[in-house]
């Protein structure tokens, strides 16, 4: 039974580095749906349309120096578009979520706050969209949260949150793999319940609700590898070519960087690539050797890093054991673009076909690849992307089989009836005709949280893993709207300062007028402590959300313009990164706004691993690359 005017709408804005995209979603109020219908045991169904997506450029982070224009010049056009889609009488009940990623993560917290506050104030002042709590609805999210949203979106589109039976102990879901330019991510629910129990402190818990009020509980492991995205891995690879020269590793400085021409087996033969490293110009000449390329790339996985809590995959990152006889994965972004655009092998993954295709491509002369591209064989992609495809496709092979240790054989005996006909891995851009976007996962959390039936104790939302909560201070992400955050920070700060001044004046009046009464001897030092305490408490009431130092590097732009961000922070993470490679990086810093000072001086060449232990020197830093300089051309 459908009740009239039961349609609801929601907005999620993906504020990325290159631009912001608004996604508009529609659903029927789940509380108006009969619990006797066939949808009662499923999460609410959400409708979206390709016509309900709109993008503006450049990214929200481009307003770093002009934060007061962030709403009017960037967000307002998106909301004007939304107002043309959503019925006018529904706007006041339409929640809005602006979730910033990529570029915004690189800004200093003060700059982030200035932009977010301006956006919040603009929405409150100029629109009627439902915004009850700016801190939870307008925020910068880290890569692991984005990974969980992606997992939710993928499995919602696959229908794996439908027909949920809470009496059953096992429910199949797909694992989510994502590879961008800077980072690689994985999110999956281990099929082996013993693995969940063994690694409970590493696993996040997600609560959803079915229409009938039943709680769906999911245990998801998620991790991000910073610096292991396709573009940043290639930057590390070029640094490796430079540092491998004997002249750059001996004890003499007068011969450093004399060799300026390098030979790259991961580029097609006949192609040249110019780049800058440590203020020195180099030219990489393609050799087109797939076998040698595979050997050269392997060290970038850092499989030699110590594993302090077995099992680990690569770079010393601990994960629950993946059982490829039952666990199934879908890859998006680079996992889709390269196999589909270059090799026409998007979809179900076949190692033999993909490996053979990559080998042939890498060993082909550059001029022949150009001719094929002109004929439309590679979708007419730019030359620089085409030339980099040998490295990227070989990197995907390494990540899947050496990093995640996925078997290469095509046939794996399945131990799960639900996966008998499913490939172990497949790359997709959409599922059932709908784009796989993490924004759908965010709105699903809200729609599910709006269900009033069922157990009131089981809060809908994401409970962070114990390690994430204790190490980074991560807190519960609620599926319902929160209330009470400060909107106009300038006005709020004015009143806070006014209160502090009144309290101070009152204390002075009390001390000097009534000093002959009971409180006769009030020491100035105690007064100082009292004033500081009052000031701190009042100021913290209006303080915005803190962001873990880890998230600033999530989609790291390792150039000199952002090196200050890397150098200013020390981070300790289960998801290890190659990002903090600065040779001048201070050891002391803050994590999530809390002091992480170490009284003992440590070498600036050392960094922390996932368990806080100091490990591994390195001989280069990603900031030595100048992204504005590289030029590609034919030989």
Examine the fold and report which residue of 503, 526, 541 is the final residue of a domain before the chain moves on.
541
The reply to whether 198 falls in a domain is no
Query: Which one, of 368, 357, 366, 356, lies nearest residue 288 by Cα?
Result: 366
Residue 416: per-residue pLDDT: 55
Examine the fold and report which residue of 140, 162, 184 is the final residue of a domain before the chain moves on.
140
Residue 229: other Cβ atoms inside 10 A: 25
The reply to whether 606 falls in a domain is no
Residue 456: per-residue pLDDT: 76
Q: Which helix (H) or strand (E) holds 217?
A: strand 215-226
Residue 419: per-residue pLDDT: 54
Q: Active site includes 359?
A: no
The reply to whether 469 falls in a domain is no
Q: What's the whole-number mean pLDDT along residues 436-453?
A: 96
- Indicate the range of 102-111, 170-179, 431-440, 594-603 predicted with least confidence: 594-603
Per-residue confidence at 611, pLDDT binned at 50, 70, 90?
Answer: very low
Q: What's the whole-number mean pLDDT along residues 364-374?
A: 96
The reply to whether 42 falls in a domain is yes
Residue 396: per-residue pLDDT: 98
Per-residue confidence at 312, pLDDT binned at 50, 70, 90?
Answer: very high
Examine the fold and report which residue of 140, 161, 188 is the final residue of a domain before the chain moves on.
140
The reply to whether 83 falls in a domain is yes
Give me the catalytic one of 39, 146, 359, 555.
Answer: 146
Residue 534 has pLDDT above 70, yes or no: no
CATH number of the domain residue 64 falls in: 3.30.420.40
For the chain, helix (H) and strand (E) counts, in that order, are 18, 25
The reply to whether 63 falls in a domain is yes
Give the total number of structural domains in the chain. 2
Q: What's the whole-number mean pLDDT along residues 113-137?
A: 96
The reply to whether 550 falls in a domain is no
The reply to whether 434 falls in a domain is no
d(CA 217, CA 206): 6
Domain membership of residue 527 as a residue range? 489-541
pLDDT single digits (tens) 218-230: 999 999 998 899 9
Q: Which helix (H) or strand (E) holds 425?
A: strand 425-427
pLDDT single digits (tens) 244-273: 888 777 776 665 677 789 999 999 999 999
Residue pair 461/477 in contact by the 8 Å Cβ criterion: yes
Please state, rounded to an integer, the average pLDDT across all residues of the chain.
Answer: 81
pTM over 0.85: no
Q: Residue 471 corresponds to which tokens in the numbers above? A: 């190490």
């Amino acid at each position: 039974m459908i009740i009239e005017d039961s349609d609801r709408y929601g907005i999620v804005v993906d504020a990325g580095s290159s631009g912001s995209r608004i996604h508009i979603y529609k659903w029927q109020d789940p509380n108006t749906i009969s619990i006797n219908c066939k949808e009662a045991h499923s999460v609410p169904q959400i409708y979206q349309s390709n016509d309900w997506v709109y993008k503006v450029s450049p990214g929200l982070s481009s307003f770093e120096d002009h934060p007061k224009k962030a709403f009017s010049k960037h967000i307002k056009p998106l909301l004007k578009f939304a107002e043309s889609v959503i019925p006018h009488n529904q706007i006041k009940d339409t929640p809005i979520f602006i979730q910033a990623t990529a570029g915004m993560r690189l800004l200093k917290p003060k700059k982030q706050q200035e932009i977010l506050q301006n956006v919040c104030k603009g929405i409150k002042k100029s629109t009627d969209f439902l915004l009850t709590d700016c801190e939870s609805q307008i925020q910068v999210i880290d890569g692991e949260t984005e990974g969980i949203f992606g997992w939710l979106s993928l499995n919602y589109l696959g229908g794996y949150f439908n027909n949920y039976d809470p009496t059953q102990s096992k429910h199949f879901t797909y694992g989510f793999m994502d590879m961008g330019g800077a980072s690689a991510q994985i999110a999956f629910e281990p099929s082996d319940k013993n693995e969940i129990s063994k690694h409970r402190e590493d696993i996040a818990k997600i609560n959803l609700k079915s229409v009938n009020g039943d709680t769906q509980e999911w245990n998801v492991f998620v991790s991000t590898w910073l610096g292991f995205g396709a573009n940043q891995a290639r930057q590390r690879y070029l640094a490796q070519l430079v540092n491998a020269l004997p002249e750059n590793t001996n004890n003499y400085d007068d011969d450093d960087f004399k060799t300026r021409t390098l030979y790259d087996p991961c580029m097609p033969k006949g192609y040249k690539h110019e780049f800058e490293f440590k203020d020195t110009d180099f030219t990489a000449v393609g050799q087109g050797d797939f076998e040698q390329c595979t050997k050269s790339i392997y060290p970038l996985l850092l499989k030699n890093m110590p594993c302090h809590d077995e099992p680990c995959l690569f770079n010393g990152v601990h994960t629950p054991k993946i059982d490829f006889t039952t666990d199934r994965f879908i890859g998006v972004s680079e996992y889709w673009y390269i196999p589909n655009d270059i090799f026409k092998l998007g979809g179900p993954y076949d190692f033999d076909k993909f490996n053979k295709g990559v080998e042939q491509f890498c060993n082909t002369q550059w001029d022949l690849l150009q001719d094929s591209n002109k004929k439309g064989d590679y979708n007419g992609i730019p030359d620089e992307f085409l030339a980099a495809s040998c490295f990227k496709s070989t990197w995907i092979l390494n990540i899947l089989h050496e990093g995640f240790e996925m078997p290469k054989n095509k046939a794996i005996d399945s131990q799960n009836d639900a996966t008998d006909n499913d490939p172990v891995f497949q790359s997709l851009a959409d599922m059932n005709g709908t784009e796989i976007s993490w924004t759908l996962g965010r709105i699903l959390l809200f729609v599910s949280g709006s269900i009033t039936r069922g157990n009131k104790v089981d809060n809908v939302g994401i409970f962070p893993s114990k390690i994430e909560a204790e190490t980074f201070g991560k807190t519960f992400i609620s599926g319902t709207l929160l209330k009470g955050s400060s909107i106009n920070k300038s006005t709020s700060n004015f009143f806070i300062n006014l209160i502090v001044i009144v309290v101070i004046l009152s204390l002075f009046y009390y001390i000097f007028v009534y000093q002959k009464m009971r409180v006769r001897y009030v020491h100035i030092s105690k007064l100082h402590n009292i004033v500081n305490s009052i000031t701190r408490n009042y100021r913290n009431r209006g303080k915005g959300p803190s962001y873990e130092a880890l998230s600033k590097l999530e989609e790291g732009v390792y150039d000199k313009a952002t090196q200050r961000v890397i150098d200013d922070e020390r981070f300790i993470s289960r998801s290890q990164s190659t990002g903090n490679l600065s040779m001048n990086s201070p050891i002391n810093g803050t994590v999530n706004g809390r002091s992480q000072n170490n009284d003992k001086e440590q070498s600036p060449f050392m960094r922390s691993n996932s368990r806080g232990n100091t490990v591994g020197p390195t001989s280069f830093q990603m900031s030595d690359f100048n992204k504005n300089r590289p030029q590609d051309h034919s030989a």
